[in-house]
Amino acid sequence: MLLTDSFLDYLLYERNYSEGTVKYYRSDILELQDFGKEMLGDLTPSDIDAELVREWIASLMDRGCASSTINRKLSSIRAYYKFLLRRGEVAVDPLRKITGPKKKKPLPVFLREGEMDKLLDDTDFGEGFEGCRNHLIIEMFYATGMRLSELIGLDDKDVDYSASLIKVTGKRNKQRLIPFDEELKFSMQEYVNVRNETIPVRSDAFFVRENGKRLYRSIVAYLVKRNLSKVVTVKKRSPHVLRHTFATAMLNNGADLGSIKELLGHESLATTEVYTHTTFEELKKVYNQAHPRA
């Protein structure tokens, strides 16, 4: 456990990973160690070999784990053994010849522009503070493409109205600036006025509950799902769908992939390129519906 703890401290304090991410790494490492212990008894990291890892993968597949989940677990173990190799704690990486199961990437789910117009312009969000706040949350996801964690992490000081910029803190605590237009600026200022009048004592958070404290994930996820249900019937109705909707709308209206990548905070352009496939699939649907010989 000492080696594992050292690795987790390294991720947390040197690599600046979030506590939530570090918990996943810990869970994955302990899961492999427990599997090895069940199969062969007490083991050190050096005792774990490629054959045991393959048996672990097979057991995960037998349990019905998705390919993406298995590959995430393997990624955790790989990072752990790279750390141990650098420290001289092991001589061999048991995963050096291991490949995870191939996964088919589903195309992102998104809403069409007409559906978003109907949601933002024609849907009743209710009166008062909550109605104003919930409408702004949907509008901000669509106008900025920010992640759920970034939205609930916003503080008042992160919004620069004079420069029309929002500073968000993304994965691995990386910060970026997202511009916003006059329409979103008006909505934010309207919300802040209602919020300050309704809740004079509150935290530094931009989005708050009626008790003045910061919103948490489940509240936002619920209100997004509830309101998306008013205009679409797709199974997935999460804040991430609005992030996909933002990216797809930007691409469809002429934005280049590099700009979308920066706005979304993607590290790799390959991650952003999935939206080109999305729009191509949409083009194929339009063609098949409209062309008389299709």
Question: pLDDT tens across 224-242, in order?
Answer: 999 999 998 777 889 999 9
Distance (Å, whole) CA 54 – CA 60:
10
* Residue 254 covered by a domain: yes
CA dihedral 220, 137, 168, 146 (to 10 degrees): 80
> Hey, what's the torsion of the CAs at 179, 184, 188, 189, to 10 degrees?
100
Rounded Cα distance between 236 and 258, Å, is 27
Cα 137 to the chain's mean position, in Å?
16
Structure tokens at 215: 């919103």
* Structure confidence at residue 171 (pLDDT): 85
Residue pair 22/8 in contact by the 8 Å Cβ criterion:
yes
Please indicate, yes or no, whether residues 16 and 160 belong to a single structural domain of this protein: no
Same domain, 130 and 185: yes
Q: Which of 26, 78, 171, 209 is catalytic?
A: 171
Residue 79 belongs to domain with CATH number? 1.10.150.130
E-strand ranges in the chain read 159-160, 165-169, 175-179
78 is catalytic: no
Is 92 inside any structural domain?
A: no
Same domain for 118 and 172: yes
Structure token pair of residue 192: 């802040």
- What per-residue confidence (pLDDT) applies to 287? 60
Average pLDDT score over the chain: 89
Q: What is the rounded CA–CA span in Å between residue 14 and residue 43?
A: 28
My answer on whether 59 and 175 are in the same domain is no
In angstroms and rounded to an integer, the radius of gyration of the C-alpha atoms of the chain is 23
Residues 83 and 117 in one domain: no
Instruction: Tell me whether residue 82 is one of the annotated catalytic residues.
Output: no
Domain limits for position 261: 113-290
Catalytic pick from 73, 195, 237, 243? Answer: 243
Q: Are residues 144 and 10 in the same domain?
A: no
176 beta partners: 168
Do 148 and 80 share a structural domain? Answer: no
Asked if the structure places residue 71 within a domain, the reply is yes
- Give the per-residue pLDDT at 261: 92
Q: Is 73 a catalytic residue?
A: no
**Lookup: tokens for 32:** 């492999």
Number of residues in the chain: 294
Has 266 been annotated as catalytic? yes
Residue 171 among the catalytic residues: yes
For the record, the structure tokens of 112 come out as 């069409």
Q: Average pLDDT in the 87-94 region? A: 90
Cα dist from 59 to 69, 77, 96, 156, 283, whole Å: 13, 16, 20, 48, 41
Helices (H) and strands (E) in the chain, counts: 13, 3
37 has catalytic annotation: no
pLDDT band at 22 (very low <50, low <70, confident <90, very high): very high
283 pLDDT band, cuts 50/70/90, is low
Give the integer Cα–Cα distance in Å for 50 and 41. 17
Predicted confidence at residue 270, as pLDDT, reads 80
CA distance 145 to 241: 10
* pLDDT band for position 251 (cuts 50, 70, 90): confident
Q: Which of 12-26, 139-153, 272-286 has the lowest mean pLDDT?
A: 272-286
Asked if 39 and 164 sit in the same domain, the reply is: no
Other beta carbons within 10 Å of 280? 11
Catalytic residue among 25, 80, 81, 275: 275
CB 84 within 8 A of CB 33: no
Give the CATH number for residue 157: 1.10.443.10
- Give a yes or no: residue 97 inside a domain: no
Write down the catalytic residue from 73, 133, 135, 147. 147
Provide the H-helix boundaries in 42-111.
Answer: 50-62, 67-87
Is 50 inside a domain boundary? yes
Catalytic residue, candidates 26, 214, 236, 240: 240
Asked if 59 contacts 39 with a C-beta cutoff of 8 angstroms, the reply is no
Which segments of 95-181 does DSSP mark as H helices, in order?
113-122, 128-144, 148-152
